[in-house]
A and B are shown apart, each in its own frame.
Chain A
Amino acid sequence: MNVDEDFADFVRARWSSLYRLAYLLAASPTGAEDLLQTTLEKAYVSWHRIGQMEYPEAYVRRMLANTLVSSRRRAWHRERPTGTLPEVAGDSAELPVLDRSLLWPLVCALPDRQRAVIVLRYYEDLSEAQIAEALGCAQGTVKSQASSAIAALRRAVAAAGVGEAVDGS
């Protein structure tokens, strides 16, 4: 089987799964299509290598997140990584059960990089080290992004009148 056939088979088999991740990362259907197309074109360029991997899909899924944030790379580099923040402040505190229709728009409203960290952590179940590797940044940066995202979500939930009684520490 040549490279083109192998790539085509992979795309057809994994398209739906990749699209779902792209949708969560891009937070819109059209953004997801653009992101997925760009990522797969990049993957095609290196398919002779990616196709030989034991889990090519895992690699392409990380490429999706990296492609999303790479357009903002300069801004990303301006952020100062830190290793002293708590392990994602407040994500273990109890909240009233939220409706998906409330929480998803709040995730969509996060900046791209914060949303990427949240999606990779809670949808892809990646560790901080794996997220840092996927996004090409320091682990401390992942921590600070996750912390900021969680704090923003908690504030938004509270502002929506659902989680005022929750201890956000």
Chain B
Amino acid sequence: MNLGDQLRETLGEEADMQYATPPDVDRLIIGGRQRRRHRNLVRAGGTALALVLIGAGAYAVLQTNPAAEIPIVDTPKAPPVLPEDPGASTLEPGTYRVLVGAGADGAAIEADLTFEGRAWHAGNFPRLNEGRNGGFGVYRAYALAAGSGCLGDESTVDAATTPEALAQQLAELPGSTVVQPVTSTGVLGRDALHLRVRIPQECPLNEYYRVAETPRGSRGISFHAASPQPTVVMDFWVMEEAGVPVVLDAWYEVGASKVLLDGVAQATEATRFVAP
């Protein structure tokens, strides 16, 4: 028997011995949708970048020594995309990449989020459950809650295009009370505007309070079947990234334990923007 025949036999036998666990089709579709959104954003940015690169490339050709070698650098593997399972499945600890939104030039802004422990639940904005709920998120908001703030109201207001104006809008979320007014601070190594609000969620049963609309869907903060939902305390940091205002938020339900607060704070501080 020659090596080719033995390879055919070996590979066939090895493959036949494998048992695949059933696929999570919903997760695949969610991942595919996220990939498509990312691709569309990159394409939009690519059109703008192409004009710049054509000019820069022409200049580089004139300036570069043709004998010089371009070093080839292996780029580290990107973390997996955050699964947007809308159910209550547990999120495996680890680092995940999320789409934050589009920068001023149309290119995608991405961030890596790190989750520790086994109490994080999957979703477009993961939630930590330790009796009470809490969570954090980083996103470019294109609309903010208006009207009652409840999803069924369907009224939103366009998000402002400067950090100052956006922070002011967040201070006026429906039904909210400002606990700490807008002040200049720093977060994730960037200048930011911070404010803290209390939001008593008075939405009808089976609805939720929607803070903002984002490229990853609605930013909701309601996770109980009962109505009214527990009051939420929410911190916002508004900063500029890639020429646009970006929101980092962290929230918890009143009555949350120190373990939950520490878990949310730790994950929030671990947020890292991906270098373009």
- State how many angstroms separate the Cβ of B44 from the closest Cβ of chain A: 16
How distant is B49 from chain A, measured CB to nearest CB, in Å? Answer: 20
Interface: B20 (CB within 8 A)? yes
Inside 8 A of A65's CB, which chain B residues have their CB?
A: none
Instruction: List residues 1-29 of chain B with CB under 8 A from any CB of chain A.
Output: 1-4, 6-16, 18, 20, 22-23, 25, 27-29
Query: B10 touching A107 by the CB < 8 A rule?
Result: yes
State the CA gap A95–B74 with chains docked (Å).
Answer: 38
B20 and A15 within 8 A (CB):
yes
Verify if B77 is at the interface (C-beta below 8 Å from A): yes
Q: Which residues of B contact A44 (CB under 8 A)?
A: 28-29, 31-33, 35-36
- Judging by beta carbons under 8 Å apart, are A91 and B25 in contact? no
Tell me the residues in window 1-45 of chain A with beta carbons closer than 8 Å to chain B beta carbons: 4, 7-8, 11-12, 15-16, 19-21, 23-24, 29, 32, 34, 37, 40-45
Interface size on B, residues (CB 8 A): 35
B33-75 contacts to A (CB < 8 Å):
33-36, 39, 72, 74
Check if B25 sits within 8 Å of A11, measured CB to CB. yes
Do B20 and A119 touch (CB < 8 A)? no
Docked pose: A88 CA to B7 CA in angstroms: 13
CA distance A40 to B30 in the complex (A): 11
The answer, among B3, B14, B29, B31, for a CB contact under 8 Å with A104, is B14
Contacts of B34 in A (CB 8 A): 41
The reply to whether A94 and B35 contact each other, CB–CB distance below 8 Å, is: no
Which B residues are CB-close (under 8 A) to A78? 72
A80 at the interface (CB under 8 A from B): no
Number of chain A interface residues as a range = 35 or more
Q: Measured between alpha carbons, how far is A158 from B15 in the docked complex, in Å?
A: 25
Docked-complex contact B10 and A45, CB < 8 angstroms: no
B24: nearest residue on chain A (CB-CB)?
A37
Q: Is A90 an interface residue (CB 8 A)?
A: yes
The residue in chain A whose Cβ has the minimal distance to the Cβ of B4 is A91
Counting CB contacts under 8 A, is A55 at the interface? no
State whether the Cβ of A150 lies closer than 8 Å to any Cβ in chain B.
yes
| Chain A 100-129: CB-based contact to B (< 8 A → 1; otherwise 0) | 100110010000000000110011000000
Contact A122 B1 (CB under 8 A): no
Bitwise interface map of A from 140 to 153 toward B, beta carbon under 8 Å scored 1, else 0: 00000000001001
Tell me which residues across on chain A come within 8 A of B7, comparing CB atoms. Answer: 91, 103, 107, 118, 122, 153
With A41-B35, A42-B35, A45-B36 as given contacts, are A100 and B23 in contact (CB-CB < 8 Å)? no
**Given A11-B23, A19-B18, A41-B28, A122:B35 Cβ within 8 A:** no
Residue A97 CB within 8 A of the other chain: yes
In the complex, are the beta carbons of B14 and A93 less than 8 A apart? no
Question: Could you tell me if B15 and A23 are in contact, using CB atoms closer than 8 angstroms?
Answer: yes
Across the interface, which residues of B come within 8 angstroms of A100, CB to CB?
9-10, 13-14
Which A residues contact B (CB, under 8 angstroms)? 4, 7-8, 11-12, 15-16, 19-21, 23-24, 29, 32, 34, 37, 40-45, 47, 71, 74-75, 78, 88, 90-95, 97-98, 100, 103-104, 107, 118-119, 122-123, 150, 153-154, 157
List B residues at the A interface (Cβ < 8 Å): 1-4, 6-16, 18, 20, 22-23, 25, 27-29, 31-36, 39, 72, 74, 77, 80-81
Selected A-B contacts with CB under 8 Å, 8 pairs: A7-B32, A20-B16, A44-B36, A45-B39, A97-B1, A118-B7, A123-B11, A123-B15
Given A74-B72, A91-B3, A123-B11; 13 other pairs, CB 8 A cutoff: A4-B29, A20-B16, A20-B18, A32-B18, A34-B80, A37-B28, A41-B81, A75-B74, A90-B3, A92-B4, A93-B2, A118-B11, A122-B4
For the complex of A and B, 6 pairs with smallest distance between CB atoms: A44-B32, A19-B20, A20-B15, A122-B7, A41-B31, A123-B11
